[in-house]
Amino acid sequence: MSTQKLIAPSMLAADFANLQQDITLVNESEANWFHLDVMDGVFVPNISFGMPVVKAIAKHAKKPLDVHLMIVDPDRYIQTFADLGADVLTVHAEACNHLHRSLQSIKDADMKAGVALNPHTPISSLTHIISDIDLVCIMSVNPGFGGQSFIEATYEKVRELRSLIEKNNANTLIEIDGGVTNKNASQLVKAGADVLVAGSYVFSATDPTSTIENLSAQVNE
Ligand code: DX5
Ligand code: ZN
């Protein structure tokens, strides 16, 4: 039996004026994780939210917090996000000069260690470090904004990463972030994805709860 595929709604697309309502929605849905996008306006050309908002979400969230740091020099904040209650902490490979050390610090702070790859960053950059990674987040859009279109070259990256994981007998999860909808979800899972992040597809829907339920059913049938 294959393992359960996870759905992680991105709160970047939630209604920030009614955040608690959208947190409750995710709590009561079939979603597995909360995906939280932290952007600094330097690593990516946008600023989203920081510690106070993560803290507020953590207070009400009843599911694991999957925190995606789109910031330069993320080592500065690893302990801070651990203290805020992050369960998975993902840093960008492109933002870390010493990725192995960053991953070690994340694990030392009792979180799962994730690495995100921008669309242009090859899977081969992880060849010698794959066994140290709990989750690889393959960016299927350029990071910085929700609501962008899915980059088709992602499927090939997923297949390549799946084979690297198998070759090394690693336990790494493959997460896809950006432009995920019911149109590409099945193909992504077929290529080897384990976790699907979905922002605008979920929160722009008339019925986000059933959108999450249907997406989960679609990839877990
Ligand atoms: C983009 C973020 C994504 C974003 C996904 O930089 O990392 O998590 O919220 O949003 P959608 O699903 O709308 O592409
Ligand atoms: Zn993200």
- Assess if residue 124 is contained within a domain: yes
Residues spanned by the domain of 53 = 6-219
- Assess if residue 1 is contained within a domain: no
- Assess if residue 204 is contained within a domain: yes
Which CATH number do you get for residue 26? 3.20.20.70
- What's the pLDDT at 108? 98
- Assess if residue 152 is contained within a domain: yes
Return the best residue to mutate from 10, 26, 39, 204 for the ligand 1 pocket (most ligand atoms within 8 A of CB).
10
Choose the catalytic residue: 37, 66, 87, 134: 37
Q: Is the pTM of this model over 0.85?
A: yes
- Assess if residue 157 is contained within a domain: yes
Domain count for the chain, please give it.
Answer: 1
How do residues 196-210 score in pLDDT, each as one tens digit?
A: 999 999 999 999 999
- What's the pLDDT at 81? 98
Is 83 labeled as catalytic in the residue annotation? no
How do residues 126-155 score in pLDDT, each as one tens digit?
A: 999 999 999 999 999 999 999 999 999 999
Query: What is the position in ligand 1's atom list of the atom closest to the CA of 143?
Result: 6
Band of the pLDDT at 1, cuts 50, 70, 90?
A: very low
CB of 33 sitting under 6 A from ligand 1: no
Choose the catalytic residue: 40, 66, 177, 194: 177
Band of the pLDDT at 2, cuts 50, 70, 90?
A: low
DSSP string covering the chain, please?
Answer: -PPPPEEEEBGGGS-GGGHHHHHHHHHTSS---EEEEEEBSSSSS-B---HHHHHHHHHH--S-EEEEEESSSGGGGHHHHHHHT-SEEEEEGGG-SSHHHHHHHHHHTTSEEEEEE-TTS-GGGGTTTGGG-SEEEEESS-TT-SSPPPPTTHHHHHHHHHHHHHHTT---EEEEESS--TTTHHHHHHHT--EEEESHHHHTSS-HHHHHHHHHHHHH-
